[in-house]
Structure formats: structure tokens, C-alpha cells
Amino acid sequence: MYNIDDDISEINNRLKKDNISYKNKTILVTGGAGFLGSWVCDVLLSQGANVLCLDDFSSGLRENIQDFEDNPNFRFIMHDISLPIYFGKIHPHYASIPEITSIDIVMHMASRASPFEFRNSPISILKSNTFGTFNALGIANNHNATFFYSSTSEVYGNPPPEAVPTPETYYGYVNPIGPRSCYDEAKRCGEAYIMAYILEYNIDAHLIRIFNTYGPKIRSGNLFGRVVPNFIIQALHDEDITVFGDGKQTRSFTYIVDEIEGILRDVAIPNARGVVINIGNNIETSVLELAKKIIELTGSNSKIVHKKLPKDDPSRRKPVLKRAKKILNWEPKIKLKEGLKRTIDWFKKSEN
């Protein structure tokens, strides 16, 4: 039966091979109660780091962090990072935590990422990646801390066939007034903020572009579900599997263990400073293939039904991973079938 601790150990064993450790570091993780953020907190705590988890539960979940709440090295800060917050002093107008005087690393991971939320919460998505990035950079700069930003493959928009697989040097084909613009353009702006802080303050900034990631703790539910949790829940309940369009559009799905390893390599490796790096899987899977795989792995009686394809839904996503290999000594290892099995097991367990 799936156990999250086995995945945490797998990440730690891989990091240990290159002597990557966060022991005794004080690390602020914005969006720490989210899917990726809570995994990062979990690994950092297991290594003996002091974790300051900042979240406002706008999309993060208390249950993602409930296992850490008794850990003396864990502190939760309820705050929306798109508003300023000061550490180590009292600010007359803004939220302040004067007793935390030293921060080694700021990881800015707060943002809703589900296309359903692009429709319902576009302003907060824009704010967490623009004002939020600005505030998080300010904290890092004030504390001489390393800064990390989780950017996204969405900065590439809907690349033409000649730009797939997509290298980091591709500038993107993004619709600034489309239904996904609150996320795509905000993340692009976030990247621009980082380049500005490098230019003006020579900050130690690291940034990666994350491709579709799935695994235990990913949010589910029809209002905000991504394709993997949606299909798994539908399959487990023998409900229709809702494939949007003809299902020929592709994504390159990365299992959470691979993704978190990539993130924690990127933060620790000095040569990654100021360089944007794709972290994702390089095996493309169509949405239809994904649906069939999930039906097979769950033994479900679900039928596939087709629904309208959302506007501006990217037709292909596949990263070039040469930089990740060269700079981070990282490549994805977990095959889709294995990652799906673990995720399905986790969903079964959490539904029970």
C-alpha cells in the first residue's frame, strides 16, 4: 500500500548522492500548504530544516500540512503574499514577524495553477505572481537569502509544432487577453521581476519552469481538478471520464517525486543561479491515452465521454531537458504507469 514516507525517502536518497542537504537552514515557503509547497515542506523538515510555511489557504489545504504541525521546526504563517510582510522588524503599516530575524532561502511557490481557477480567481492569480513575487523578492533581498521561483511551462503559451519539444530559449506564444492570461502573463511578469532583482541587486535567484505534475496531495474536485485527479476520481466511482475535445492534445506528466527532486536540486546548485531550467517529463502522453491508462489501472467500468475543448488549451507540451541534465544532474525517472499507480493508491486510501 502507498506510503508518502517512502516517496520522501526516495527524494532524500537521490539528493544525498550529490550531498544536497538543507539541515539547519531557515526556509520560507510561500504556498507551503499547496500541492508542491507541502511536499517541499515535508522533505525540508525530514532533513532538519526550519520551515516557515506561509499560506492563506486560498487554494492550499490545512490537511496537506497537518502532519507537520507538531514539529518544532515547523511554523505556519497565515498570510496572503500579495500583501507585504516583514520579518525581523516591526513595520508600522504591514504584517510583521519581528522574532524571525534570519532567513536563508525564500521559495515563492504560492499560486493557484488550475485552469478552472483561471476563470474564477484571475485577480488573485495575477497578484500572487506579480505583487507576490515582488514581496517575496523583497524578503529575500532584505535577508541576503537565496530566492527560488516556481515558474511554469505556461510561459510558452501554445507553441507552434517547430517549438515542441520546447527549450528554455523559446520566448513563448501567449495570448495576453485569453482565458489563461492571468496565469501565463503573471508568471512571465514574475520571471521579469527576478531578472530585475538580479540586475539591480545581484540577488542569488533560481527559477524553474514546471510542466504538468501529479501525485498524492494534488487537489481534486470538479471545480479545480486537473486532468489526472479528475480522471482518477471519475474512474474510482465508475463515472464518465470527461475528455475535453478529441483528447489528442498532449501533456508530459511528471510524478511528484521527480519534480520535488528537481526543485531541491535547483535551489541548492550554485550554477543554477539566474538560469531558467525546465523541470518536467519528456514523454508526451495524449489526454485520451491517459484516460485509457487510468481506466485500466483502476479496473474501472467508466466510459470515455468527450466535452468541449476549452479555448486556448495548449495542443502539446513537451520540454527539452538538456539544461536540467547538465546543470542539475537531473532527469525524470518514474514512468507514468508507476506514478499513476502510487497516485491511485493514495486517492483510494484518502477516500477511505
The answer to whether residue 71 forms part of the interface with ligand UDP (CB under 6 A) is: no
Q: CB within 8 A of 343, min separation 6: which ones? A: 214, 215, 216, 218, 228, 229, 232, 255
Residues 195-234: x where in contact with ligand UDP by CB under 6 A, - otherwise, as a string: -----------------x-------------xx--x----
Residues 236-255 that bind ligand UDP (CB under 6 A): 242-244, 249, 251
Residue 105 β-bridge partners: 27, 146
User: What letter represents residue 47's amino acid?
Assistant: Q
Question: What single-letter DSSP state applies at residue 221?
Answer: S
Q: Which residue has the cell 538580479?
A: 198
Q: Is 157 in the site for ligand UDP (CB under 6 A)?
A: no
**Set of cell numbers at residue 12:** 532524500
Per-residue contact flags (x/-) with ligand UDP for residues 82 to 121, judged by CB under 6 A: ---------------------------------x------
Which strands form 205-210's sheet, in the order they lie side by side? 74-78, 50-55, 26-30, 105-108, 146-152, 205-210, 276-279
Tell me the C-alpha to C-alpha distance, in Å, between residue 222 and each of 115, 117, 123, 283, 287: 11, 11, 21, 26, 17
Catalytic residue among 183, 193, 214, 255: 183
Task: Closer to ligand UDP by CB, 26 or 225: give it.
Answer: 225
- Angle at the Cα of 269 (from 267 to 272), degrees rounded to 5? 80
Does residue 171 carry a catalytic annotation?
A: no
Shortest reach from residue 4's CB to ligand UDP, in Å: 22
Q: For ligand UDP, how many residues bind (rule: CB under 6 A)?
A: 13
Which of 312, 313, 331, 345 binds ligand UDP (CB under 6 A)? It is 313
> CB 256 → ligand UDP: shortest distance, Å?
14
Which grid coordinates are listed for 61? 489545504
Interacting residues toward ligand UDP by CB under 6 A: 115, 212, 226-227, 230, 242-244, 249, 251, 287, 310, 313
What are the catalytic residues?
Answer: 183
